[in-house]
Structure 1
Amino acid sequence: MARIIGDRALNARLTRMARGADVTPALVRAAERTRAEYIEKVQQVSPGRTETRYSPRREVTVSAPGSAPNTDTGDLVNNTGAGSFRRNQAEAWSSMGYADDLEFGTHKMAPRPAMQPAFDETKQQALNDIAAALRKDMRNG
């Protein structure tokens, strides 16, 4: 299962910012935003080569290495989620078994990342939401 929780520097910054405040709702909104961006990236058709797939027979465009994967069956985006399982933590994920292979590549296939680019595009808004939650907490505390 592919999970992008965040980078170490971001986690350290959030820990310093939170100082005991509960910013879980802001983090969940950020994870949901990342999930939505991930779905959008996978559903946009990236350039690549055309292949014939069988069962059922269909033509698909296989994305080029380094580009987000193109949707084929819809399973990748239909098996995504976002949520929180611990205070001040949230995550966005795809639970398809091949999501990691697409995101990070294999010895036979170059990576086709979509979750990390989605996270990168939504990170600043997450920081803004967390800062707003902290300001609200300080006013109410």
Structure 2
Amino acid sequence: MPDVTPEKHIDEGSGPLTLQARMTCWREDNGHTSASWEFGFNGQLCLLFDSENGYWTMVHSKGRRMKEKWENDRAVMDFFKKVSMGDCQRWYHTSLVRWEKMLKTAASPTEAPLRVNSTATATKHVTCILPVLLSSFIIIVFLG
């Protein structure tokens, strides 16, 4: 994948590069779900993608080529946005359902069932690493 290699910041003989991606989801108090992506090589964070507004941010020079390639590719941006929004909403719903079940089973039989209301001002984060999905996508986009 010559289009997704960091500049010349790796030592000769250091072995193959490992591309890592992490998607972070959060849900605001108003119910709006958002997500962002972090990309890195061999543990070094290089590039961020905001799924909400479609902006790419290079945080290390190793991500320059990848940013230049991906920020001009509408299909890549659409893919990350769709995966983010679909998965984040599903994960949040699944987590909330499990949490409500745990609270209901924790209530004693003489008490009224607990009602879960989100009144916290903090955002709720769900993080997942999607190596297989991302690897498949990269192979399809760059080699397909």
TM over 0.5: no
What is the TM-score with the length of structure 2 in the denominator? 0.38
Flag the structure with larger Rg.
2
Where relative contact order (Cα < 8 A, 6+ residues apart) is larger, the structure is 1
What is the TM-score with the length of structure 1 in the denominator? 0.38
